[in-house]
A and B are shown apart, each in its own frame.
Chain A
């Protein structure tokens, strides 16, 4: 490591004053993550280094390590940590026993050993600057952003009690007991006073969110227990930092100068820091929400705002010496609802993913570096008494604290926290990087035994994360802790949830109680009235109902499955082959599947006809069947098709744009095709059901179609991916023509559809649309009216009617009519199929209608 000297000196410049208390004294660090902060400065320095030598000629290639050193090392470390995680996660049977966090720490040990072996000194350590400024914020932001708000607030009281009182208790009891043991002579000669012990206690007090999340993520305990531990770990970080600062100030002040006034000031500052921090976070949350209201035109960078403002919330609170952690937690919690509905759906996904990427990445780095930091001779000071007693007290007082507080809480709680849950809660009191970060921040001048404290902290961290982490899962199993119900999202559950809420409010009203539900209802009303009004886009406000969102989500899921399933079963065969639907249907149970085949039977062919001219991946299927067909006709129809059809999407594919994702700008085309095909299916199904002869006054309707620019929602996106995925635009000419002919011979019903269509493709001739109907189905009509009124970026909900699951909704209508048509044949094999094998995707059974038209 030849680079070390330069490194040191650039680092000095920005050793930060975290919490405004101490100077970081670890000189070489996980280097400049802060290159973000002052890239120009350090780069300048290094550039000078690089070009300092006398130039004797023009070098063709120069090796400029110093030029790139800092960012290079940062990137390398990230890579190494990532690879470490990759290797660890590759062995599932290992991670199922030992939690990932523990393995990462061990991985850190190994790396640290290698570095130490090479350098004889620990070059890389986790410094508080890096930790608090660059690694922690995104983890906490992610936690806040994905916080289940309702659950959190309904357990808010308990969480606050644990976080505030529990943490204070931990700090005080640990500090006092250690001091007592010191007085008793249990740890020999140490230069520590009561205040120093209390300071140490306060930095050890907090349960660490990073460690807790890492461990509890893998054991799925019930949600109340989870939110208690999780919420506590988040909030008590704020508390512990405050406590730490207060005690640190006390230590600097010196024992004799502390009087009642100072203590009161300390207590006041505690509240100011905590509430002030939360307030800052709240304000920034509102800011983000407001901002995302008007980012419609810069969708591509709107996810960025969330991160930048979140980070600013953290820094602002830090600047005002308020609790930065609380600030960013509340920022995330506040804005989640609004940004999720304000932003484009893709942006929301982006935010979620990036948030997870950052959080998970820094979590990994934190654990690895926790491991690396241990391999350093300098920090290790062994004092058996001190270390063992700390370990013991940390564990014991955690248990005592939790049990005592729960005992009090259970007197007030509606559903008491059970004994087993209390055990898990106590046992889940993992300490982590926050404690370590604070310990490293201690000032050596004021606290002589800093290294002892650091090494003790490290041991406690290892002990809790590794040992308790490993034993957590068996313990949870052994105690039979109530697990989280893992199941699929179901609509009925969500509906019922809502009914429960309303019911409880009503009952509280009737019985004249002012309880939790009453308050929540009041808050909801207030929020409805004011906050959403101000913070949400009008268009987003429209469809924000919870149940509806769930419904929407389920539909999207169905649509995805529909497509995946279809593709898996052999390209797009499912589009035209009714049998492919059986598997998809299976989930929605049989009364639906009885009906679906005949929907498909009478629509699939229409559908395929309309689709074929559009370049599609699956033409081979058809081609094979077409092989024997008349080539002359193929040529004819080829010309016709070329004249009348939309162009293939291929030519749009290679555009690059920095600010837009959808390469295919010609949405009209895609949408119209999709709309038509869907309408075709719905209509034909409907006419089949009603037995009505199609009339022809849909024409007007269709024209409107063409003009309107349908926004692209998920359902449409799906169809689009089909089209744009069509690499090989091999036009199998005559496809539609011969297909048409064949079908004409097979079903009388279809003949009527096609009669007017001639050789031109029926789907793209508005006036001859075979599907002309008695009436426009209300859902179509409605969506169209809607979409013509609102802005094009209206979110996807409006287009719900096109998702496949809506076919399902229609399905039962069919039951009554289902003897009236000629598709009973299609039913029989499908039904059999279903009865025979429910599980595996059934091989396509012979489908009479399809078969004979081929």
Chain B
């Protein structure tokens, strides 16, 4: 641990980050390496797009993302609205959503929900759809995700009806959109901890 700690110290705010996200020093170090690998300009920030060319920047280095149907939504989830760059701290904070939920952590009410709690995880998932961040998944937004995922195999009409049906299933207050509460209710039976966690290697 000694050696890794020393290098962790080179990362700004490493201790606070560890505290906040629950990542260990080794995790942080590893993620930092990854961050630097992605950060080709070495400016400590990942950019959403390259201004002049409008090409996807930085995250474009991850080739698999280009194949991922919802890759774009995920990339944009890293950037808070209006921002075009993300620094290491935010990067880690986003990834922290995907840590497995700590079970036996005593939760004092004063403290904010950790990022890896089920509710925060769900919130993140919700944002995958809710591109305009108005707190509702509209039909168009759902359709967009569906279109990306189902793609060529399904006709537009069928997509429409799928979206329609999905909304009807979840939509309790009949506003033709899914609010976060409705979203949560519809996924009540899903084990979010299982479904939204990955193992971070040390």
Contacts and interface: CB of A to CB of B under 8 A. Distances in A.
Are A and B physically bound partners?
yes
The 6 closest A-B pairs by CB, nearest first: A485-B189, A512-B34, A591-B174, A809-B161, A779-B157, A809-B164
Contacts of B176: 591, 812
Interface in B28-84: 30-31, 33-34, 37-38, 59, 62, 64-65, 67-71, 74, 78
Given A506-B68, A805-B165, A414 B150 contact: no
Contact of B187 (A224, A493, A507, A510): A493
B98 interface: yes
B10 interface: no
Interface string A483-505: 00101001111011111101111
A492 to B, nearest CB: 5
Contacts of A495: 142, 145-146, 149, 162, 166
B47 to A, nearest CB: 14
B105 interface: no
A303 B92 CA distance: 53
Given A504-B198, A509-B68, A499 B125 contact: yes
B197 A415 contact: yes
B17 interface: no
B187 A548 contact: no
Given A492-B186, A505-B68, A511 B153 contact: no
Contacts of A779: 155, 157-158
Given A512-B30, A512-B37, A543-B153, 16 more contacts: A416-B103, A496-B125, A499-B125, A499-B128, A504-B196, A507-B198, A509-B68, A510-B62, A510-B95, A511-B198, A525-B67, A548-B150, A548-B158, A589-B172, A592-B168, A809-B164
Interface stretch (A13-21, A453-461, A515-523, A572-580): A515-523
A513 B149 contact: no
Contact of A503 (B30, B128, B142, B166): B128
Contacts of B195: 497, 500, 504
Given A495-B166, A497-B190, A507 B98 contact: yes
Contact of A545 (B67, B154, B161): B154
Interface in B132-185: 142, 145-146, 149-150, 153-158, 160-162, 164-172, 174, 176, 178
A507 B196 CA distance: 10
B201 interface: yes
Nearest to A797: B158
A345 interface: no
Nearest to A815: B176
16 contacts: A414-B199, A485-B189, A487-B189, A495-B145, A496-B187, A498-B149, A503-B74, A506-B70, A509-B65, A510-B38, A510-B74, A512-B34, A545-B154, A589-B172, A591-B171, A812-B176
Nearest to B59: A510
B141 to A, nearest CB: 12
A705 to B, nearest CB: 18
A666 interface: no
B34 A547 contact: no
Instruction: Give the secondary structure class of B's interface.
Output: helix
A496 B190 contact: yes
B24 to A, nearest CB: 14
B64 A542 contact: no
A547 B148 CA distance: 12
Contact of B149 (A224, A502, A542, A782): A502
B162 A551 contact: yes
A516 B199 contact: yes
A672 B62 CA distance: 52
A823 B132 CA distance: 37
Interface of A: 222, 224, 414-416, 485, 487, 490-493, 495-500, 502-513, 515-517, 521, 525, 542-545, 547-548, 551, 554, 588-592, 778-779, 782, 800-801, 805-806, 808-809, 812
A511 B158 CA distance: 35
Contacts of B125: 496, 499-500, 503
Contacts of B165: 491, 551, 554, 805, 808-809
B193 interface: yes
A505 B64 contact: yes
A502 B150 CA distance: 12
B68 to A, nearest CB: 5
A491 B169 contact: yes
Given A224-B194, A496-B125, A500-B125, A509 B100 contact: no
Nearest to B173: A591
A660 to B, nearest CB: 30
Contacts of B142: 495
A545 B150 contact: yes
A521 B169 contact: no
Contact of B157 (A491, A778, A808): A778
A493 B165 CA distance: 12
A513 B64 contact: no
A490 B74 contact: no
Interface in B92-128: 95, 98, 100, 103, 125, 128
B195 to A, nearest CB: 4
Contacts of B31: 511
A271 B192 CA distance: 37
A806 B196 contact: no
Contact of A415 (B65, B178, B193): B193
Given A497-B190, A512-B34, A589-B171, A547 B98 contact: no
Nearest to B151: A545
Contacts of B156: 778
A515 B198 contact: yes
A788 to B, nearest CB: 15
Contacts of B78: 510
A499 B62 contact: no
Contacts of B30: 512
Contacts of B95: 507, 510-511
Contacts of B150: 545, 547-548
A544 B153 contact: yes
B160 A809 contact: yes
Contacts of B33: 512
Nearest to B165: A491
Contact of A499 (B149, B157, B186): B149
Contacts of A521: 64
Contact of B198 (A490, A508, A542, A548): A508
Contacts of A414: 100, 194, 197-199
B69 A547 contact: no
B197 A491 contact: no
A516 B201 CA distance: 11
Nearest to A510: B62
Contact of B186 (A416, A493, A507, A806): A493
Given A517-B198, A812-B176, A506 B74 contact: yes
A812 B164 contact: yes
Given A491-B162, A493-B187, A812-B176, A506 B200 contact: no
B36 to A, nearest CB: 11
A495 B150 CA distance: 10
A491 B199 contact: no
Contact of A548 (B65, B128, B154, B190): B154
Given A508-B198, A512-B37, A808 B164 contact: yes
A825 B155 CA distance: 36
A580 B195 CA distance: 41
A682 to B, nearest CB: 12
B130 to A, nearest CB: 12
A778 B157 CA distance: 7
A782 B153 contact: no
A779 B30 CA distance: 51
Given A507-B98, A592-B168, A800-B161, A547 B146 contact: yes
Contact of B100 (A415, A513, A805, A806): A415
For A485, A506, A507, A592, the residue with the greatest tally of chain B CB atoms inside 10 Å of its CB is A506
B94 to A, nearest CB: 9
Given A491-B162, A493-B190, A499 B145 contact: yes
Contact of B170 (A492, A499, A509): A492
